[in-house]
Each structure stands twice: as structure tokens, then as C-alpha cells.
Amino acid sequence: MRVPRLRSGRIRRVALIGSAAIALTVTGAVEAHASVVEATPMTTFRQVALADFQGPLYLAWVGTDANHTLNIAVSTDGITFGHSIQPFGRGNSDSAPALTVFDGKLWMAWTGTDANHTLNLASSANGTTWTQATQPLGRNNSPTGPAISGFNGRLYYGWMGTDSKGSVNLASSSDGVNFTAPAHPGNNTTYKGLGLFDGISSLYISFPATNSDHTLWVAQTTDGVHVFNQELLSAGTNHQPSVTAAAEGGFVIAFTDHADNLAIIPYKGLPIQPPAELLGPVIESPTVADAGDFGVEYAWVDRHNEIWVMSCSDGPPPAGQPNVQAPFC
């Protein structure tokens, strides 16, 4: 088994304990621990998607087969995943898929491999049997993977537009069928996709700007149309970020820095903390998700296209494992 190299962060220290386990303690918060496993034989060349649904944890990715088939696998412990299924048959994508839970269903979004790269959507009531893919946003398309999130009784679908500016687009639906016309909240533009996070009182949009450093921004909206607050973060990325709730409050943004290392920024308001570099190198961007009983889950793809998963859960570390300082979980 190849074990990823964990790096010294700019906030606190995180270290590898043994061959496949990391013991973590968050300063000033409850104890937490994490485990890392190599999730072979699952491989991909794009960012993966994670979502907690009805207890188990679901992982979705684009396969490395010639067809780039969309795959889903499920875990009942947040670490070990069963055999994958291909719910859309030869349904495929050249970009990263997205998962979210809304209206008691698991939803997946992706861009098709048709000439238009049309935005697709499907749902499942049990995680296994899926509806046929639809294109509820008409001819809208994207050069990167989309983002989806439930918020305030609506399903939000976000994507980078194909216009010359790379506009941030958002549309929403109360039923997953009929969507509003795309809006451009804050008239923001993105270099490479966006991440969405349901913050209870507002929907957060994170995206890399189109400046030379591709600096990360976080914007807040309550209606998907207007932005009432947005802040510039302290790092840039060449890829699509991922956002979820943090155990200490606020949220955490996972991304690849310009050296292709997995990095995070914990956010609980001003002042904005500097990024913590965790491990690397990785390809595309990592994914972070609030995985219910499993705590906070991270997934990333190494340079051998292998998918790795790390589970951060409350409680003491495994027996015999020492504690180390960490800026997350």
C-alpha cells in the first residue's frame, strides 16, 4: 500500500501514525481521530463526490475506462467501500460528478459527453435504483463539473458557464424537475468550477477567481440570485474547490494549492486563517463532506489515479495511537 505523504501545515502540525492511520486532536475542541485507506480498485482522473444518505456514505466518480463510466459505491463504516455500480449503464462524463441529498433522495449531477456537454441530473430514493438522466437546464452546459446542494427547501444547481468570462451560474428547483432561469449571483466569474455548501442560514458559493493566482472566494446568498456578503480567502487554486461544515463550527474548504498539494482553509469568520497543507501531491481537487455519523470525510485522487478516503470522527483515537495536532476534523 502506498501511504500519502502528510505535510507540515501553516496552522498546526499533522503527522502520519503507522502505515494507514492518522490520530488527530483539534486544539481547543473535542478529540477526534481519522483513518486513511487506499480504496482500490477504484480509480479516476477527476474529482470524486461524497454524500451521506440514509446512514451509509456514497462515493461517485468517473471511471478510467474508455467510456468514462459514472460509478457509485457505498460504505457502511465511512472507510471501506463495496463493489461499484454503474447506475446509468453507459452514462458517462469527462468532468467530475456531484452528489447531494434533497427531499429524501440522493441526487447526482454531471456534464454529459455529448457535443454540447449538457448538464445532467438524476435521483435515487435508495441509492441503488436511479431515475433516468434528465437535462432540466436545457442546453446549458459547462466545461467543468457542476455543483449541487439542497438549501431552504430547494435544490440548487451551480456551474461554470461557457461564456468568455466563465460566469458563476445558479438555478434552483423545488422538485428537481422545474428549474429557475440561471442567475449570476454577484456577477462573479470563475476560473474552474465552484463548490456549494448549505450553511443553514445561507448558501455558500466557493470559487477560484479569474485573476492570475486564481484566488479563492466565498460568497453568501439566501435566494441564489443576490449575494449579501463575499470574502476573499488567503489562497489560490487551479481546480474546483469543495466545501462542508466543520466540527468546530463554520465550514472548511478543501482544494489543491499551486504545488498540487491537498490543502484546507477552516473558516469561522474574520480573520481568515491561512491554509494548511495536508498531503500531496494529488490530482484535480480533494472532496470534503459532512458524513453524518462518520464525521467529516475527505477523498482525493493520487497521481496513480487511486482514490483515497480519510474519515474524521469525534472521540478518542484508536487504542495505542498517539495524538498529534491538526487544523481540521
Per-residue pLDDT tens over the stretch 281-301 = 898 899 999 888 888 889 999
In the numeric block, the cell 486564481 is attached to 214
Question: pLDDT by residue (tens digit) across 88-100?
Answer: 988 889 899 999 9
User: What does the pLDDT read at residue 321?
Assistant: 46
User: What does the pLDDT read at residue 15?
Assistant: 30
Above 60 in pLDDT, residue 156? yes
Residue 122 to residues 82, 102, 148, 269: CA-CA distances in angstroms? 22, 12, 12, 35
Phi, psi of 183 (to 5 degrees): -115, 165
The residues with which 59 forms a beta bridge, in sequence order, are: 50, 73
Enumerate domains of the chain plus CATH numbers.
49-298 (2.120.10.10)
- Write the single-letter amino acid at 305: N
User: What does the pLDDT read at residue 181?
Assistant: 97
What count of other Cβ atoms lies within 10 Å of the Cβ of residue 101? Answer: 20
Over residues 50-65, the mean pLDDT reads 95
Q: 115-130: string of b/e by CB count within 10 Å (b at 16+)?
A: eebbbbbbbbeebeeb
The grid cell for 194 is 465552484
User: What does the pLDDT read at residue 39?
Assistant: 55
User: What does the pLDDT read at residue 40?
Assistant: 55
Above 60 in pLDDT, residue 113? yes
**Nearest to residue 135, comparing CAs of 94, 193, 176, 90?**
176
Residue 314: which residues within 8 A CB-CB, separation 6 or more? 30, 31, 32, 247, 295
Handedness of CA 5, 33, 73, 104 (dihedral sign): negative
Above 70 in pLDDT, residue 1? no
For residue 17, the 8-state DSSP code is B
User: What does the pLDDT read at residue 314?
Assistant: 61
The residues with which 291 forms a beta bridge, in sequence order, are: none
